[in-house]
Structure 1
Amino acid sequence: MEVAQVLPMNGSVEEASYANNSLLQRKVISLTKSLRDEAITSLYCNTLPRSLAIADLGCSFGPNTFLVISEIIKVVEKLCRELNHKSPEYKVFLNDLPGNDFNDVFMSLDTFKEKLRNEMETEMGPCYFSGVPGSFYSRIFPDKSLHFVHSSYSLQWLSKIPEVGDNNKGNIYLTSTSPSNVHKAYYKQFQTDFSFFLKCRAEELVEGGHMILTFLGRKNSDPSSKESGYIWELMAMALNDMVLQGIIDQEKLNSFNIPNYYPSPSEVELEVLTEGSFSISRLEVSEVNWNALDNWDHFNDGYNVAQCIRAVAEPLLASHFGEGVIKEIFNRYKKILGDRMSKEKTKFTNLTLMMTRKA
């Protein structure tokens, strides 16, 4: 299974689409606004670019796609007014996998531009948008063509499923029952992917360029702790129940593993240090509830979180188990989530990195 072909988020405007179930991602973007503001302020004041190239990696589609871009431009325009500078031109590159719903992105572009201009106190510089399909685990931009790179809730996805064979039977991610070779395979894949990601971005960013990355991670040293893979452990419970009832084949389950890795701060720092192209200005840890709705209740907990996970994982599950069992998987998953969330505090841990390209 080619991961890049089955990782784009759920399209359409249906109930389980990413566009209708991405409030969690929006909350995380809001949590990291102060770091982005600091980074773009530092970049602009130190370089005063006449043309500012910004890339958002893993842009997806829906209400969150232009949020970060809008915030960045507003910060720069405010600085221009304060410093009495002419606004730069903006070159915005929106990247995601080829299967992403770029049509949705482009169809909402004019509305976004009009709204942004209306919110500006003065006339802003020209703004040019480009869609850039492709995996960010490869080169996707020319040498030294970018000033600012942003990515949120994308880098926890690996470029491929770690080579664990059928050694992780009954599990779909790292758990306390996963053999040590499974742990090693997941960590090795994270190291390979993240190191190559940094290498590619180092070639694409100008010297002194800034990068803000936010991804799911963990605070402790144990990659199989509840802090990281519990959301998938509960899904594995639903899948194992379906195996027992003959709905899903045991071999199908044994050969399925989620291509995620939730690193610790020390693991992230080590890869940045080892690759060597970036200096870390800040590494912050934050938390967000599994259920991102403010006026939530325990009755709807399971449904809301199941919909959020379905929006990002359905294509992956459908490609492996078939479209016919998806509804049943998430009906069971919803009940398991609701039960656990009524008894436990459930939070995702986020790592946010602010980095500068070294000279």
Structure 2
Amino acid sequence: MEEGQVFPMNSGAGKASYANNSLLQKTVISKVRATVEDSALEVYFKTSPESMRIADLGCSSGPTALSVASYILDAILFQLKQMNQKKPLTLQVFLNDLPGNDFNTVFQSLSSFYERLKKKKKNDPICFVMAVPGSFYGRLFPNNSMHFIHSSYSLHYLSKAPNGLVSETGVTHNKGNIYITKTSPDVVVKTYLRQFEEDFTVFLRCRSEEMVIGGCMVLTMMGSAISNDPKHMLEIVGRVLNDLVSQVCGTITHLFSFVIYFHINIAKIIFGIIEEKSVDNFNVPAYCPTEKEARKVIEEDGSFRLQKLEVFQLPWDAGFNESKGKNDINNKYDRGKYISDYIRAVLEPILMKQFGESLIIDDFFERFTQKIIESIANENWHYVNLVISLTKN
């Protein structure tokens, strides 16, 4: 997958949309709320801006898109009240994501956001919200213009799948995998890490140019405990794809006499055939760094002072109780389906691009649900999360 072929989440407000499957992200953002508020308050009272400019990079299209703006607004208003200051508060909020992001769904929620603002009589807060389409692995804002930048569950996505995963002789180094697993050779781990280091360095340097002196960033990304066996959800996705390949290999003999009457491409669509080489050539453009790897890039770049780097874990089904209610807490299938649905909201566009009509998407995610249920019972993996608080030097 080349640069520029990274896809936004499922759009709209349907059952498989990101907007309806973002409770995990809501849980993550709420976990770092205190860090966001503390950092935003620090930069606000240090710089005393006439208009505070904040950005949410990788905002996507769910109800979480305006969460951070709300947190910051409430925190500053509360502090002003405590200090008995009547200073007017103006925020400019820039929502960033890829050009294909469903910004329309975000802006449809603005009316309720502004209605909430009207109820805040004290200090008469004013908030302007606007979209900034584009990759955050490049410049987005003018020099020295931004006070606070936030990003949640976006920076583990790379600008592209790493180069170097296929040898000069055409050998696929990560055969049978779509991401790093314990069976991946060292060259795969090193190649992914190198791409992350390059991308994260570019990200930091771009933000450094855009932020005022003393500006703050709070970044949350999926991480790993160790590099060469991250125990990531993508490993489960790869297992399902390989099951489909194995199933095709086992049944193609029985179908052969029937298939010969059809053009091979039509046969692929009818039987949902996933070719082995399509899986071998598929490398998801993501990398979940360890705490040490993220810290190393920040320190070597030197654009920002590291205030805090914390690690916390979440179960795969974080947010499930909010979606289903406590009565369903022991329903294994519903828990697996909840996880499968939010992964589908994120991965469906990239899977369809890679496999096209050969992949029967409903069948794929039903199989994925069953794999998730098995993994929860036998492996007990968790999401490792890095929370990084930075101040511009």
State the alpha-carbon separation in 2 of the partners of residues 86 and 324 from structure 1: 60
State the alpha-carbon separation in 2 of the partners of residues 123 and 279 from structure 1: 32
Aligned-partner residue type, residue 131 of structure 2: G
- Aligned-pair distance for 1:20? 0.9
Tell me the equivalent position of 1:258.
284
In structure 2, which of residues 177, 192, 198 is the aligned counterpart of residue 192 of structure 1?
198
State the alpha-carbon separation in 2 of the partners of residues 324 and 68 from structure 1: 40
Matched, 1:95 2:103: no
In structure 2, which of residues 300, 314, 318 is the aligned counterpart of residue 274 of structure 1?
300
| Preserved contact between residue 301 and residue 341 of structure 1 (Cα < 8 Å) | no
Matched, 1:157 2:157: yes
TM-score (norm 1): 0.95
Aligned-partner residue type, residue 383 of structure 2: F
Tell me the equivalent position of 2:106.
105
Q: Deviations over 1:216-250 (max 9, x none)?
A: 002x3x2132xx34311111111011111222001
RMSD: 1.4
When the two structures are aligned, how many residues end up with a matched partner? 353
State the alpha-carbon separation in 1 of the partners of residues 315 and 121 from structure 2: 36
In structure 2, the gaps of 5 or more residues are 167-171, 249-272
Matched, 1:68 2:68: yes
Distance 1:104 1:214, change over 3 A: same
Matched, 1:321 2:347: no
Tell me the equivalent position of 2:310.
284
| Preserved contact between residue 77 and residue 87 of structure 1 (Cα < 8 Å) | no
Matched, 1:344 2:342: no
Q: 1:284 aligns to what SS in structure 2?
A: strand
- Aligned-pair distance for 1:4? 4.1
Q: Deviations over 1:67-91 (max 9, x none)?
A: 1111111111122223314123211
Which one is further off, 190-199 or 108-117?
A: 108-117
| Preserved contact between residue 5 and residue 99 of structure 1 (Cα < 8 Å) | no
Q: Deviations over 1:136-173 (max 9, x none)?
A: 00001110110000000000100000121221110010
In structure 1, which of residues 180, 188, 193 is the aligned counterpart of residue 186 of structure 2?
180
State the alpha-carbon separation in 1 of the partners of residues 106 and 216 from structure 2: 25
| Preserved contact between residue 302 and residue 339 of structure 1 (Cα < 8 Å) | no
Aligned-partner residue type, residue 350 of structure 2: L
State the alpha-carbon separation in 2 of the partners of residues 44 and 6 from structure 1: 34
In structure 2, which of residues 210, 214, 229 is the aligned counterpart of residue 208 of structure 1?
214
State the alpha-carbon separation in 2 of the partners of residues 321 and 89 from structure 1: 47
Tell me the equivalent position of 1:81.
81
5 Å-filtered alignment, 1:292-307, equals 292=318, 293-294=320-321, 295=326, 296-297=329-330, 298-307=332-341
| Preserved contact between residue 70 and residue 116 of structure 1 (Cα < 8 Å) | no
Aligned-partner residue type, residue 201 of structure 2: S
Which one is further off, 138-147 or 238-247?
A: 238-247
Tell me the equivalent position of 2:255.
none
State the alpha-carbon separation in 2 of the partners of residues 288 and 311 from structure 1: 19
State the alpha-carbon separation in 2 of the partners of residues 338 and 202 from structure 1: 43
- Aligned-pair distance for 1:287? 1.2
Aligned-partner residue type, residue 354 of structure 1: S
- Aligned-pair distance for 1:251? 0.8
Q: List, as ranges, runs of 4+ consecutive aligned residues in structure 1 with deviation greater than 3 Å.
A: 1-6
Q: 1:64 aligns to what SS in structure 2?
A: helix
TM-score (norm 2): 0.87
In structure 1, the gaps of 5 or more residues are none
State the alpha-carbon separation in 1 of the partners of residues 111 and 102 from structure 2: 16
Percent sequence identity over matched residues?
42
| Preserved contact between residue 51 and residue 90 of structure 2 (Cα < 8 Å) | yes
Q: 1:322 aligns to what SS in structure 2?
A: helix
| Preserved contact between residue 77 and residue 124 of structure 1 (Cα < 8 Å) | no
| Preserved contact between residue 173 and residue 229 of structure 1 (Cα < 8 Å) | no
Q: Deviations over 1:286-339 (max 9, x none)?
A: 111101212333232221111111111110111001145222221111111111
Matched, 1:355 2:357: no
Distance 1:196 1:330, change over 3 A: same
Matched, 1:28 2:28: yes
Tell me the equivalent position of 1:334.
369
| Preserved contact between residue 117 and residue 123 of structure 1 (Cα < 8 Å) | no
| Preserved contact between residue 155 and residue 221 of structure 2 (Cα < 8 Å) | yes
Tell me the equivalent position of 2:263.
none
Q: 1:55 aligns to what SS in structure 2?
A: strand
Distance 1:6 1:186, change over 3 A: closer
| Preserved contact between residue 49 and residue 88 of structure 1 (Cα < 8 Å) | no
